[in-house]
Amino acid sequence: MGEGDPLSGEGNGREGGHGGLLGATLLSGCRMPGEAEERKSPAHKVTLPLHTDEDKKKKGEKNKPVSFTLSKKPHLALETSSSQEKHTNFADKKLALRKAELAKALEEIEMTTHLIDLKKNTIEELKQRGAHLAETNCRLMRYIQHTDDSTAKQARVLLQEYEAFQSVQAMVQTLNQNRLDTARAELQETEKTLQKNLGELQQQLEEATAKVQVLQEELSTLRPYINGHYPEEDIKIVFLQHSIENLKKQQQVETEKTEKMVEAMLEELQAKAQAEQEAILQKVVEEMLLHQDGLKQMMINNYILQREILRQREANKDLEKEIGELKISIQTLRQSARDPREMIFADVLLRRPKCMPDAEVVLGLPTKEEPLSGCSAPCPIRSTVGLR
């Protein structure tokens, strides 16, 4: 056991030495890339010192506390020889293990050096990429600055054009508004005249209906006296009533047509005015953006509007002519519509002489009817007609 202790101590010392060397090599291999770049020292392989027999002897001597002397007895010699063989076998095993550990350490060192080289390469690539990114950033900054300048210039130009366009648009709007006001005033005047004419026609229609009612009442009073003697006159009365109703219907249809025509013309004029306004604005915008010649376009638009106003006035004149023709036709219809009493009793009322007080007249009146007071002839009929 005394001989085993120094061996174990020697083994521990060697293992400690190998551990310290491995730690130094690993620390030297795992340095940071920044430190390697600052020192700029090339990577070189680390060589481990070999242990010699002298070192072993020195370590063994240091660890040996007591020295033994061999005796002359044979059994002691045999024991020492066997212990020496065991010691040599154990030392060989230790050496083999240490060689294996050294081989592993060398492999790890090679791997660390390879990793260091790879890290250096990656650092160089990162530097190159950083330089490339810096260049691209500079180019992008210049491009952005250039685009900002160009956009600012374009914005200024567009603002100037927009201001000019706003001024021209305001002028055009004022002109169009004035023209629209004049057109609306003319339309209102035409509407007033048409309403006035329609009111007059309505009044005339009411007067005609009142006259027809009066005539119908007169016919209702005279019908008992003439039913038996004038069947043809009854037919004429019915025919005239139908004609009066037809005239009423025709007059109503004509009034509705005139109203529809007026409404259609008003809508058409409004639509034309709006379309012309939009077209004029569009033309003004196009001319401002293309040629910057707004005054010329304004003159053209003014000329077009003047022509359109003249055309609308001509259309209004045509409508006034049509209204005059309608009035003339209504007057002719009124004139053609004679007094139904004159048409029915033409041979009784107009063509015969008046009944004188001393004239003898014989009437064939029904016996059930009481005679009229004051006269026994068709004199009351004539007198009533004359009074009416």
Report mean pLDDT in 10-residue bins for the chain, 388 residues: 40 42 41 42 43 46 44 51 76 87 91 93 94 94 93 92 88 89 89 88 88 83 60 72 85 85 84 84 72 68 86 88 85 71 62 62 58 42 36
Q: Are 336 and 247 in contact (CB under 8 A)?
A: no
Q: How far is CA 158 from the centre of its chain?
A: 24
Q: How far is CA 130 from the centre of its chain?
A: 46
Cβ count within 10 A of residue 164:
13
Q: Are 262 and 191 in contact (CB under 8 A)?
A: yes
Query: Which run of H or E residues covers position 329?
Result: helix 294-336
d(CA 30, CA 51): 26
pLDDT, position 364: 59
Residue 381 CB-half CA count within 13 A? 22
pLDDT in tens, 43-65: 444 444 444 444 444 444 444 44
Read off the tokens for 329.
């036709």
pLDDT, position 361: 60
Cβ count within 10 A of residue 342:
10
Domain ranges within the chain, ordered by starting residue: 4-148, 158-351
pLDDT, position 12: 42
